[in-house]
């Protein structure tokens, strides 16, 4: 079974050198597996002319649509915008740098035709990445899986979503601080998995810095679990235990007639307790910050331009 209309969402930032190639390659693959399709490129505040390239390509094919943000709002917001504009029976989200191989699209559609409402493309090999990148990505996914209670090993944003899942993720989940990989797992629809090897970037360099990964990890953890708050309780018990042993040691020394000294012990204890307090405040601060962002109810993105005038009505 083929979809009546297949949508592909490409979030892009500073991809001017390779976005035309990505669109051409994805379009060629879609021609082989779907009679009707559209490609939606979401320019996440690029400053290198990415949107101008998309506009040029869109002039020659009405199935190519582009949206430009007023500034950089992040990949999560770009994916959300792309899904909101997607009109297809299914939507496939993938990176615009071709590290997510378009050749896998027919298999994703095949798995959907068998009944899967979410088809996850997971990374089978990252040989094109440096060892630092692999360690960083594996650590990121392991931490999120441990704290968030969701399986994210080798997970990626390369996914196929059925229309019902799209409507749920876009319409029924109101949070603004979003983590796409986690949300598609959390909604719980029937899913399937396809493995792929990460390809070499078509052009340019990766956009994910270490600190942006940390920020995404914090958003994901805070969005999906309150487990870190329990760490505060554990630190409190740890402080109590340390205080008990220090008190017992001081009492025994007093019974033996020894002077209760231990300046170094006292300083170390104070530093340890102070560290626990600061860590606890930091954890609670992260949750308060996310609550603050949510209650302001600012839009997750602001659109500056469209390539398709019909999109302005959305």
The pLDDT of residue 285 is 81
CB-based contact 93:9 (threshold 8 Å):
yes
Sheet strand arrangement including 64-69: 191-197, 118-125, 159-162, 90-93, 6-12, 37-43, 64-69, 303-306
Q: Band of the pLDDT at 295, cuts 50, 70, 90?
A: confident
Q: What does the H/E/C string look like for 100-151?
A: CCHHHHHHHHHHHHCCCCEEEEEEEECCCCCHHHHHHHHHHHHHHHHHHCCC
Average pLDDT on 139-144 reads 68
Task: For the chain, give the percent of residues with pLDDT over 70.
Answer: 77
CA 267 vs CA 208, 246, 261, 262, 281: distances in Å: 41, 12, 12, 9, 21
> Could you give the CA distance from residue 206 to residue 260 in angstroms, rounded to a whole number?
59
Predicted structure pTM score = 0.75
- Please check the confidence at residue 72 and state whether its pLDDT lies above 70: yes
13-67 pLDDT, tens digit per residue, is 988 888 999 999 999 999 988 779 999 999 998 988 899 999 999 998 899 999 9
95-131, pLDDT tens digit by residue? 988 888 999 999 999 999 999 999 998 877 655 556 6
Strand partners, 76: none
Largest interatomic CA distance in the chain: 93
Confidence of residue 276 (pLDDT cuts 50, 70, 90): confident
Q: Which residues fall within 8 angstroms of residue 257, CB to CB, at 6 or more apart?
A: none
pLDDT computed for residue 232 by the predictor: 77
**pLDDT digits over 188-214, tens only?**
899 898 888 776 655 555 555 566 666
Q: Is residue 4 pLDDT above 80, yes or no?
A: yes
- Report how far residue 226's alpha carbon sits from residue 230's, in angstroms, rounded to the nearest whole number: 7
């Amino acid at each position: 079974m083929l979809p009546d209309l297949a949508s592909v969402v490409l979030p892009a930032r500073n991809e001017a050198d390779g976005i035309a190639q990505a669109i051409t390659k994805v379009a060629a693959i879609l021609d082989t597996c779907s009679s009707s399709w559209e490609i939606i490129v979401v320019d996440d505040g690029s400053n290198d002319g990415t949107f101008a390239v998309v506009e040029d390509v869109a002039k020659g094919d009405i199935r190519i649509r582009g949206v430009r943000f007023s500034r950089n709002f992040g990949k999560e917001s770009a994916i959300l915008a792309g899904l909101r504009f997607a009109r297809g029976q299914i939507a496939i989200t993938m990176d615009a740098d071709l590290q997510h191989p378009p050749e896998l699209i027919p298999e994703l559609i095949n798995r959907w035709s068998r009944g899967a409402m979410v088809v996850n493309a997971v990374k089978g090999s990252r040989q094109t990445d440096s060892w630092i990148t692999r360690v960083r990505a594996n650590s990121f996914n392991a931490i999120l899986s441990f704290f968030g209670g969701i399986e994210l090993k080798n997970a990626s944003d390369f996914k196929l979503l059925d229309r019902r899942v799209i409507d749920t993720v876009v319409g029924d989940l109101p949070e603004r601080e979003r983590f796409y990989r986690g949300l598609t797992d959390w909604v719980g629809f029937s899913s399937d998995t396809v493995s792929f090897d990460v390809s070499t970037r078509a052009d340019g360099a990766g956009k994910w810095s270490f600190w942006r990964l940390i920020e995404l990890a914090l958003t994901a953890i805070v969005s999906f679990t309150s487990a870190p708050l329990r760490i505060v309780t554990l630190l409190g018990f740890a402080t109590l235990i340390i205080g008990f042993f220090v008190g017992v040691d001081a009492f025994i020394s007093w019974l033996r007639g020894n002077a209760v000294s231990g300046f170094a012990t006292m300083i170390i204890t104070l530093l340890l307790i102070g560290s626990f307090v600061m860590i606890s405040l930091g954890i609670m601060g992260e949750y308060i910050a996310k609550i603050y962002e949510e209650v302001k109810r600012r839009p997750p993105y602001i659109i500056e331009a469209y390539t398709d005038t019909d999109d302005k009505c959305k």
